[in-house]
Amino acid sequence: MADSTLADPLPLAQALMRRPSITPAEAGALDVAQAALDALGFKTQRLKFGAVDNLYARLGAARPNFCFAGHVDVVPPGSGWTSDPFAAEVRNGFLYGRGAADMKTAIAAMIVATESFLAAKGPPDGSISFLLTCDEEGPAVDGTKAALAALKAKGETLDHCLVGEPTSEDRVGDTIKNGRRGSLNVVITMEGKQGHVAYPQRANNPVTAMVELATALKARKLDDGAPGFDPSNLEITTIDVANPAHNVIPQRATAKLNVRFNTAHSGESLIAWIEETAQRIAKARGAKAELQIASQSVPFYTEPGPFTDLVSQAVRESFGITPMLATTGGTSDARYIKDYCPVVELGLRNETAHMVDEHCAVDDVRTLARCYEAVLRKYFAG
């Protein structure tokens, strides 16, 4: 049930979800959040880079500066929904629509939690800020990453940050993400020489070199894990030749791979290893290898300590459970925030994120708002 002293985050969540802010379009979602923060006395500013609009809002000028961060952009809805994906319809206690889990509801909960905190405690002994982007589901270059650099150039400092990504598994509050693995996507092209299969001496089959390369890459054990992390893993996701003929040795073979890696590695060290291995095998086979880095994101890790303890205490107070710290899952904008301040992620269940009929329990959104309010209360209590 909603706390009688806390405003209901549902109307704000619905207002945000009714803006079809598919990456990188803001579509009025940032306007909704900005209006709500303006009403609370925040000093707001828009930071636009390329096609991406971002919002930074701050209440207070002193430190420490506690930041709520998240994104209002969503992935395309797809087809097959039982209701309009941007209608934010409530059915049987569940809120349906894009952003219900990931993560417009969390932004609404953050704003309502701040409103409740200010009503009860007044202005904090420090500052509260919000950093919201429209680029997390896209390239993530002109969003949080660019905004943080611009804010630093203006003299802004963040001391701690909580990101509202959907981190929970079985119950809301059961998981706090204090880290995420890095991700590296690589496209490898192996160039040989086309020819007739009956005369292999006149050709050079790139598939042979590619299979050997894939075997060599998979054979290496990357690590045994790192503090807070499971072992890194490399997966070959496709090998493509596009050869319709049975009697032709192809000229080219292409492979794609992904590495999910912990803090034992950097993207650069992994790229150097893959490059060296590819070139060595290509040379031995008389082929030519070329690598293209399709995308790269770095891992982040916040050491367990006072900040993670504080957020865990807020979860126990609000949800009545003890959360676990985890570093599983995909990437998030916390990988950029970690260069500026300690950061953790806490949000709703991730079970339906990016799915058709994405939804969440309305009561979970209300409890999450209470939890965020508890975080603020404990943080500014010292």
Which residues are known catalytic residues? 73, 136
Is residue 232 a contact partner of residue 327, using CB atoms and an 8 Å limit?
no
CA–CA distance, 135 with 96 (Å, rounded to integer): 22
In the chain, the N- to C-terminal Cα span, in Å, equals 29
Backbone angles phi and psi of 102, in degrees to 5:
-130, 95
CA–CA distance, 157 with 211 (Å, rounded to integer): 49
Closest CA to 134 of 147, 123, 153: 147
State how far the alpha carbon of 136 is from the alpha carbons of 26, 160, 331, 336, 351, in Å.
12, 20, 10, 11, 19
What would you report as the CA-atom Rg of the chain, rounded to the nearest whole angstrom?
24
Give the bridge partners for 261, in sequence order.
Answer: 182
CA–CA distance, 203 with 222 (Å, rounded to integer): 35
Closest CA to 32 of 45, 43, 19, 41: 19
Q: What is the DSSP letter of 103?
A: T
CA–CA distance, 136 with 87 (Å, rounded to integer): 22
